[in-house]
Structure 1
Amino acid sequence: MGDIETVAVTDLPDDFTSDAERILLDVREVDEWELGHVRGAMHIPLAEVPARIDEIDLDRELLVVCRTSGRSYRIMEYLLMRGIDGAVVTGGMVAWESAGKPIETGSGDE
Protein backbone atom coordinates (compact mmCIF):
# COMPACT_ATOMS: atom_id res chain seq x y z
CA MET A 1 0.00 0.00 0.00
CA GLY A 2 3.06 2.21 -0.30
CA ASP A 3 1.75 4.11 -3.34
CA ILE A 4 -1.41 5.29 -1.61
CA GLU A 5 -1.22 8.64 0.14
CA THR A 6 -2.55 8.99 3.67
CA VAL A 7 -3.69 11.87 5.83
CA ALA A 8 -4.10 12.00 9.61
CA VAL A 9 -7.46 12.94 11.11
CA THR A 10 -5.69 15.68 13.08
CA ASP A 11 -4.76 17.35 9.77
CA LEU A 12 -8.40 17.60 8.68
CA PRO A 13 -11.15 20.11 9.48
CA ASP A 14 -14.02 19.03 11.73
CA ASP A 15 -16.57 19.94 9.05
CA PHE A 16 -16.37 19.54 5.25
CA THR A 17 -19.63 21.38 4.53
CA SER A 18 -17.99 24.49 3.08
CA ASP A 19 -14.65 22.96 1.98
CA ALA A 20 -14.56 23.82 -1.72
CA GLU A 21 -11.14 22.25 -2.27
CA ARG A 22 -11.63 18.79 -0.76
CA ILE A 23 -14.25 16.10 -0.59
CA LEU A 24 -14.41 13.50 2.16
CA LEU A 25 -15.89 10.29 0.78
CA ASP A 26 -17.22 7.92 3.44
CA VAL A 27 -17.42 4.38 2.03
CA ARG A 28 -18.98 2.65 5.06
CA GLU A 29 -22.35 0.93 5.03
CA VAL A 30 -25.56 2.86 5.74
CA ASP A 31 -25.88 1.61 9.33
CA GLU A 32 -22.30 2.68 10.12
CA TRP A 33 -22.89 6.12 8.54
CA GLU A 34 -26.04 6.64 10.61
CA LEU A 35 -24.18 5.82 13.83
CA GLY A 36 -21.79 8.69 13.21
CA HIS A 37 -20.16 10.54 10.32
CA VAL A 38 -18.21 13.69 9.60
CA ARG A 39 -20.34 16.73 8.89
CA GLY A 40 -20.24 17.56 5.20
CA ALA A 41 -18.88 14.17 4.13
CA MET A 42 -20.24 12.44 1.04
CA HIS A 43 -21.59 8.93 1.63
CA ILE A 44 -21.32 6.21 -0.99
CA PRO A 45 -20.98 2.63 0.33
CA LEU A 46 -17.88 0.84 -0.99
CA ALA A 47 -19.74 -1.56 -3.28
CA GLU A 48 -21.59 1.33 -4.94
CA VAL A 49 -18.59 3.56 -5.70
CA PRO A 50 -17.79 2.14 -9.18
CA ALA A 51 -21.37 2.67 -10.38
CA ARG A 52 -21.65 6.11 -8.74
CA ILE A 53 -18.20 7.53 -9.53
CA ASP A 54 -19.79 10.31 -11.60
CA GLU A 55 -21.35 11.72 -8.41
CA ILE A 56 -17.89 12.55 -7.03
CA ASP A 57 -16.40 15.93 -7.96
CA LEU A 58 -13.00 14.76 -9.16
CA ASP A 59 -11.80 18.37 -9.55
CA ARG A 60 -11.54 18.48 -5.76
CA GLU A 61 -8.94 16.71 -3.61
CA LEU A 62 -10.40 13.31 -2.70
CA LEU A 63 -10.07 11.94 0.82
CA VAL A 64 -11.55 8.53 1.65
CA VAL A 65 -12.67 7.36 5.08
CA CYS A 66 -14.17 4.12 6.43
CA ARG A 67 -14.14 2.55 9.89
CA THR A 68 -10.42 1.78 10.28
CA SER A 69 -8.88 2.31 6.77
CA GLY A 70 -9.20 -1.16 5.21
CA ARG A 71 -12.04 -0.34 2.83
CA SER A 72 -10.50 3.06 2.10
CA TYR A 73 -7.31 1.39 0.88
CA ARG A 74 -9.32 -1.04 -1.26
CA ILE A 75 -11.29 1.71 -3.01
CA MET A 76 -8.18 3.88 -3.44
CA GLU A 77 -6.42 0.97 -5.17
CA TYR A 78 -9.41 0.75 -7.52
CA LEU A 79 -9.47 4.51 -8.14
CA LEU A 80 -5.71 4.76 -8.69
CA MET A 81 -5.92 2.02 -11.34
CA ARG A 82 -8.40 4.31 -13.11
CA GLY A 83 -6.16 7.36 -12.84
CA ILE A 84 -8.03 8.99 -9.95
CA ASP A 85 -5.82 10.36 -7.17
CA GLY A 86 -6.78 10.60 -3.54
CA ALA A 87 -5.72 9.87 0.01
CA VAL A 88 -6.84 7.52 2.79
CA VAL A 89 -7.76 8.96 6.18
CA THR A 90 -5.47 6.96 8.47
CA GLY A 91 -7.36 5.02 11.11
CA GLY A 92 -10.74 6.01 9.70
CA MET A 93 -13.66 6.94 11.90
CA VAL A 94 -12.18 5.04 14.84
CA ALA A 95 -9.21 7.44 14.78
CA TRP A 96 -11.56 10.40 14.15
CA GLU A 97 -13.57 9.66 17.28
CA SER A 98 -10.46 8.80 19.32
CA ALA A 99 -9.09 12.25 18.47
CA GLY A 100 -12.25 13.78 19.96
CA LYS A 101 -13.43 15.18 16.64
CA PRO A 102 -17.18 15.81 16.29
CA ILE A 103 -19.58 13.46 14.52
CA GLU A 104 -23.17 13.70 13.34
CA THR A 105 -25.65 10.87 13.63
CA GLY A 106 -28.62 9.90 11.51
CA SER A 107 -28.98 9.81 7.76
CA GLY A 108 -27.62 13.32 7.18
CA ASP A 109 -30.64 14.13 5.00
CA GLU A 110 -32.06 17.52 5.89
Structure 2
Amino acid sequence: MADVDPRTAADLPDAFLLDVREPVEWIAGHAPGAVHIPMAELGSRQQELPAERTIVAICRSGMRSAAVVEALTRAGYDAHNLVGGMHEWAAEGLPVVRDDGAPGVVA
Protein backbone atom coordinates (compact mmCIF):
# COMPACT_ATOMS: atom_id res chain seq x y z
CA MET A 1 0.00 0.00 0.00
CA ALA A 2 1.36 3.39 -0.95
CA ASP A 3 0.85 6.38 1.30
CA VAL A 4 0.79 9.93 0.03
CA ASP A 5 0.97 13.17 1.99
CA PRO A 6 -1.68 15.88 1.44
CA ARG A 7 0.50 18.28 -0.56
CA THR A 8 1.62 15.51 -2.91
CA ALA A 9 -1.96 14.29 -3.30
CA ALA A 10 -3.18 17.80 -4.10
CA ASP A 11 -0.51 18.10 -6.81
CA LEU A 12 -1.03 14.69 -8.44
CA PRO A 13 -2.15 15.25 -12.01
CA ASP A 14 -5.52 13.67 -12.76
CA ALA A 15 -5.81 12.00 -9.32
CA PHE A 16 -9.25 10.76 -8.31
CA LEU A 17 -9.85 11.90 -4.73
CA LEU A 18 -12.10 9.31 -3.10
CA ASP A 19 -13.62 10.41 0.21
CA VAL A 20 -14.81 7.33 2.10
CA ARG A 21 -16.10 9.11 5.22
CA GLU A 22 -19.65 9.05 6.52
CA PRO A 23 -22.18 11.52 5.06
CA VAL A 24 -22.15 13.80 8.12
CA GLU A 25 -18.35 14.14 7.81
CA TRP A 26 -18.60 14.87 4.07
CA ILE A 27 -21.30 17.52 4.55
CA ALA A 28 -19.15 19.39 7.08
CA GLY A 29 -16.29 19.70 4.61
CA HIS A 30 -14.17 17.87 2.07
CA ALA A 31 -11.36 18.37 -0.40
CA PRO A 32 -12.43 20.29 -3.52
CA GLY A 33 -13.08 17.93 -6.39
CA ALA A 34 -13.32 14.84 -4.19
CA VAL A 35 -15.95 12.19 -4.88
CA HIS A 36 -17.92 10.87 -1.92
CA ILE A 37 -18.48 7.12 -1.67
CA PRO A 38 -18.81 6.05 1.97
CA MET A 39 -16.69 3.04 2.87
CA ALA A 40 -19.78 0.91 3.55
CA GLU A 41 -21.07 1.59 0.00
CA LEU A 42 -17.83 1.03 -1.85
CA GLY A 43 -18.51 -2.61 -2.72
CA SER A 44 -21.78 -1.80 -4.45
CA ARG A 45 -20.41 1.35 -6.11
CA GLN A 46 -16.98 0.17 -7.23
CA GLN A 47 -18.01 0.58 -10.88
CA GLU A 48 -17.90 4.35 -10.27
CA LEU A 49 -14.13 4.22 -9.76
CA PRO A 50 -11.91 5.02 -12.74
CA ALA A 51 -9.61 2.08 -13.48
CA GLU A 52 -7.23 4.28 -15.49
CA ARG A 53 -6.59 6.98 -12.86
CA THR A 54 -4.63 7.12 -9.62
CA ILE A 55 -7.04 6.95 -6.68
CA VAL A 56 -6.26 8.76 -3.44
CA ALA A 57 -8.51 7.47 -0.65
CA ILE A 58 -9.38 9.95 2.10
CA CYS A 59 -11.00 9.60 5.51
CA ARG A 60 -10.74 11.66 8.69
CA SER A 61 -7.41 10.30 10.00
CA GLY A 62 -6.18 7.76 7.44
CA MET A 63 -7.35 4.53 9.08
CA ARG A 64 -10.51 3.76 7.07
CA SER A 65 -8.89 4.90 3.85
CA ALA A 66 -5.92 2.56 4.52
CA ALA A 67 -8.32 -0.41 4.55
CA VAL A 68 -9.98 0.86 1.36
CA VAL A 69 -6.62 1.22 -0.38
CA GLU A 70 -5.66 -2.31 0.58
CA ALA A 71 -8.86 -3.67 -0.99
CA LEU A 72 -8.59 -1.48 -4.09
CA THR A 73 -4.96 -2.46 -4.63
CA ARG A 74 -5.89 -6.15 -4.44
CA ALA A 75 -8.58 -5.42 -7.05
CA GLY A 76 -5.97 -3.95 -9.42
CA TYR A 77 -6.40 -0.22 -8.86
CA ASP A 78 -3.53 2.24 -8.49
CA ALA A 79 -4.65 3.39 -5.03
CA HIS A 80 -2.93 5.46 -2.36
CA ASN A 81 -3.83 6.38 1.20
CA LEU A 82 -3.87 10.03 2.26
CA VAL A 83 -1.61 10.06 5.33
CA GLY A 84 -3.34 11.79 8.24
CA GLY A 85 -6.60 12.06 6.31
CA MET A 86 -8.63 15.25 6.23
CA HIS A 87 -7.12 16.35 9.55
CA GLU A 88 -3.69 16.54 7.95
CA TRP A 89 -5.12 18.00 4.72
CA ALA A 90 -6.59 20.92 6.68
CA ALA A 91 -3.48 21.25 8.87
CA GLU A 92 -1.42 21.72 5.68
CA GLY A 93 -3.61 24.70 4.81
CA LEU A 94 -5.26 22.96 1.86
CA PRO A 95 -8.86 23.98 1.13
CA VAL A 96 -11.81 22.31 2.81
CA VAL A 97 -15.19 23.10 1.25
CA ARG A 98 -18.85 22.21 1.53
CA ASP A 99 -20.94 21.19 -1.48
CA ASP A 100 -22.04 24.80 -2.00
CA GLY A 101 -18.41 25.94 -2.23
CA ALA A 102 -18.41 27.69 1.15
CA PRO A 103 -15.53 26.97 3.52
CA GLY A 104 -15.97 23.71 5.38
CA VAL A 105 -14.55 22.07 8.48
CA VAL A 106 -13.20 18.62 9.23
CA ALA A 107 -15.74 16.79 11.36
How do 1:44-63 and structure 2 match up within 5 A? 44-63=37-56
Q: CA deviation at 1:80?
A: 2.1
Structure 1, unaligned runs of 5 or more: none
The letter of the residue matching 2:21 is: R
Q: Distance in 2 between matches of 1:5 and 1:73?
A: 9
Alignment partner for residue 23 of structure 1, among 10, 16, 22?
16
What root-mean-square deviation, in Å, do the aligned CA atoms of Structure 1 and Structure 2 show?
Answer: 1.9
Structure 2, unaligned runs of 5 or more: 102-107
Q: Distance in 2 between matches of 1:56 and 1:83?
A: 12
Aligned length, in residue pairs: 101
Q: Is the 8 A contact 2:31 2:96 kept in 1?
A: yes
Q: Distance in 2 between matches of 1:42 and 1:107?
A: 14
Q: Distance in 1 between matches of 2:10 and 2:99?
A: 20
Normalised by the length of structure 2, the TM-score is: 0.85
Q: CA deviation at 1:12?
A: 2.9
The letter of the residue matching 1:11 is: T
SS in 2 for 1:64: strand
SS in 1 for 2:10: coil
Cα 1:59–1:68 change in 2 (3 A) is same
